[in-house]
Chain A
Amino acid sequence: MTEVTIDMVRKRAEADAKTYGYHLVPDPELLQAFLEGLKTNEERYGYPSCPCRLASGKFEYDRDIICPCDYRDPDVAEYGACYCRLYVNKDVYEGKQQLPTVPERRPLEKQSRVYTATAELKETTAAAEEKPAAAAQEKTEETLKTKPKLWYCKQCGYVVFRDDPPYICPICKAKREMFAEIKTRIDFIG
């Protein structure tokens, strides 16, 4: 495995902030603590899960909290910062707005799973061995619960598949209001 360095984690976060029109928290001590947390998690789990949340170590349970997490965009839009406050908006970065306290948006059921992850996974594996088809179907249903949709940017045509439209278009920087859902209908012929 490639060695993870603070510099790598920092560069990745900076690049991501730039793409989405965000900034990293200006307090150097806080920033350093978050970057170290991300580094630790990446070394431990193999992916940089959120430094402020408890990860299960099972990818399928932690997918939504891999930084940048699924909740970052709505949180920055609503509060001016993500849950950790690693990513902030321009006003917070420039000190025009105080660093906010961001409530947890991640559903409690997903948080709770962390505490029983190992036991649950064992059950799932056992069930999968007995009834592979049923387990597969269960999994599909679970995936469908999050209901990601196709969104397109009315300004530049960028298309993204996720629960909510992005806060800012990563291509042309258009605001969220410029995104519209694409309703698809797939017909199978022949």
Chain B
Amino acid sequence: MTKQFLKDNKVEYEYKDVDLCEEEDKQKIREHIQSKGGPLSYPTTIVDDNVLITGFRKDLLKEALEI
């Protein structure tokens, strides 16, 4: 749903399906999310490398993306 929402709003994004990742990548992702102080929960969206949004939260995504 997050992907669809970003697509619908013509936001450029990169994504990773964590559940389909290799162990090594999972570890890296875990470290990355935890370094930003987020819980290990999905979907996690990182806007401009500083705003971290946990879950599909339309309101928060809109606010962070200024749309």
Residues of A whose CB lies within 8 Å of any CB of B are: 29-30, 33, 44, 52-55, 101, 103-104, 108, 111-112, 114-116, 118-119
Total A-B residue contacts, Cβ distance less than 8 Å: 37
Contact among B1, B26, B42 for A53, CB-based, below 8 A = B42
* Residues of the A chain whose Cβ atoms lie less than 8 Å from the Cβ of B9: none
- Asked whether A52 lies within 8 Å of B41 as measured between CB atoms, the reply is yes
Which residues of B8-67 are within 8 A (CB) of A? 18-19, 23, 26-27, 30, 39-42, 55-57
* Residues of the B chain whose Cβ atoms lie less than 8 Å from the Cβ of A53: 41-42
- Asked whether A101 lies within 8 Å of B57 as measured between CB atoms, the reply is yes
- Asked whether A54 lies within 8 Å of B40 as measured between CB atoms, the reply is yes
Contact among B1, B23, B39, B42 for A30, CB-based, below 8 A = B1
* Residues of the B chain whose Cβ atoms lie less than 8 Å from the Cβ of A114: 26, 40
**A-B contact list, 5 entries, CB within 8 Å:** A44-B19, A52-B42, A54-B19, A116-B23, A119-B23
Closest B residue to A51 by beta carbon equals: B42
Taking the closest CB of chain A, its distance from the CB of B3, in whole angstroms, is 11
Tell me the dominant secondary structure on chain B's binding face: loop
- Asked whether B19 lies within 8 Å of A101 as measured between CB atoms, the reply is no
Taking the closest CB of chain B, its distance from the CB of A51, in whole angstroms, is 9
How many residues of chain B are within 8 Å of chain A by beta carbon?
Answer: 14
Closest A residue to B22 by beta carbon equals: A118
* Residues of the B chain whose Cβ atoms lie less than 8 Å from the Cβ of A52: 41-42, 55
Closest B residue to A102 by beta carbon equals: B55
- Asked whether B30 lies within 8 Å of A101 as measured between CB atoms, the reply is no
Closest A residue to B60 by beta carbon equals: A101
Given pairs A54-B26, A104-B39, 20 additional interface contacts (CB within 8 A): A30-B1, A33-B56, A44-B19, A52-B41, A52-B42, A52-B55, A53-B41, A53-B42, A54-B42, A55-B19, A101-B55, A103-B39, A104-B41, A108-B40, A111-B40, A112-B30, A114-B26, A115-B23, A116-B27, A119-B23
Taking the closest CB of chain B, its distance from the CB of A114, in whole angstroms, is 8
Contact among A101, A103, A104, A115 for B26, CB-based, below 8 A = A115
A33 to B55, CA, bound (A): 12
A108 to B18, CA, bound (A): 18
A41 to B18, CA, bound (A): 13
A55 to B57, CA, bound (A): 22
